[in-house]
A = this chain, B = another copy of it.
Amino acid sequence: MITIKDMAEMLGISTTTVSNVIHGKTSEVSQKTVERVEKLLDKYEYVPNISARSLSQNSSKIIGVALKCRKDKYANLFSDPFFGELIGALEAEIRAQGYFMMIYTSNDISEIIRNVLTWNVDGLILVGMLHDDFIRIKSRYKNPTVLIDSYASREIMNYVNIGLEDEEGAYEITRYLLKMGHRRIAFLADNMEGVDYTRYLGHLRALADYGLEMKEENLLIFHPGTVERESSLRELYYRVKNYTAFMCCSDYYAVLLMNYFMDRGIRIPEDLSITGFDNNLMSRVVRPALTTVRQDVTKKGRLAVEYLLKMIQGTEFSEWDVKLPIEIVIRDSVREIRQEDAGDGAADSKDVVEKADVCGNCCNMDEKEA
């Protein structure tokens, strides 16, 4: 590892000159010197030491990406293809802009804060944070920050969020279910804050349009990492006859349920309709293909990086709330039911046969490692 100092000594010139050549401040340097330096640069394949540069410039060229994983410690967050896609998009864009990406996944906000400060990252992207988390981080970390999929309240300064028309998406897909004749619809989420809560509001609005109220027994909340448990799935299975449709807050859950139910003889969509949210790889690959809400994850990632860099370069957004459009993707997981059927919905689900589970691993995915 050759350094600027080494080369300066070799050529009998000062480090300043070498540095100037490296940074193309060639107007200040004689042509001869430039050539001599460049020859060495090339010969020894000089690579700058970022730590040193960070220290002297007080800028690290790192973009931190922090994901709060509310799951168990050992669960693998990236099992959900949504996160895989998002991380991939972020990485590509960050690199394309000449920055470096450092990921932190933790359920401990102080750990995230420590990491971000210790690396002196130039900017921070927070995924799926709740209001309080954001406040805590901002109280210690002063550099530009962009949120993805967060719903922090408006009082905060420098609030930039790249989100989705969540309310609209939930509204539209609920309306679709209603239009298809469904009346007893279960709403499944893993929390009642942020994104999921907003989707819940959209769900309510659609119901209201049809003069319906949300019944308590239709609201199914399973904390993150618990839906995958056999006990939860079994519970849902026993309650399935109460509904004609499940509306899930992610494709991940929808696909999980769909397979669990199908493996036990419930026909989708004949006995039960089901919808997802995200339009990720699995929703397209599963059969029957999942009716869901499309979002452009790649664009989400790219926009987040774009805004962040603008902020790093000095642009001030005192408040900015991007909501990417959604789109309903109708595939094959929802059936139309005539209104007179609606009353007894999955009535024929009494025929359900307890079948061997050919998908054992699938249901316990996240428990494997624990």
Q: Which residues of A contact B (CB under 8 A)?
A: 1, 45, 47-52, 54-55, 60, 74, 76-79, 81, 83-85, 87-89, 91-92, 95, 100-106, 114-115, 117-120, 140, 255-256, 259, 262, 279, 281-282, 284-287, 289, 298, 331-332, 358-359, 361-362, 365, 368-369
Contacts and interface: CB of A to CB of B under 8 A. Distances in A.
Nearest to A362: B284
B286 A49 contact: no
Contacts of A286: 285-287
Contact of A120 (B51, B87, B89, B256): B51
A284 to B, nearest CB: 4
Main secondary structure, interface of A, reads helix
Contacts of A60: 51
Given A50-B119, A100-B115, A117-B47, A284 B92 contact: no
Contact of A102 (B52, B102, B106, B279): B102
Given A81-B281, A259-B287, A298 B76 contact: yes
**Most chain B Cβ neighbours within 10 Å, of A51, A95, A106, A362:** A51
B91 A105 contact: yes
B81 A77 contact: no
Contacts of A255: 285
The 4 A-B residue pairs with the shortest CB-CB distance in the complex, in nearest-first order: A84-B84, A78-B88, A51-B54, A284-B362
10 contacts: A47-B117, A48-B118, A51-B54, A51-B55, A51-B119, A91-B103, A91-B105, A101-B102, A279-B361, A284-B359
Given A50-B120, A256-B285, A285-B362, 8 more contacts: A49-B55, A51-B54, A76-B85, A81-B84, A91-B105, A95-B105, A287-B287, A289-B359
Chain multiplicity (copies):
2
A281 B365 contact: yes
A187 B13 CA distance: 62
A197 B119 CA distance: 41
A188 to B, nearest CB: 17
A78 B74 contact: no
Nearest to A259: B285
A282 B282 contact: yes
A42 B54 CA distance: 26
A290 to B, nearest CB: 11
A78 B83 CA distance: 9
A74 B118 CA distance: 32
Given A51-B51, A52-B55, A103-B101, A1 B84 contact: no
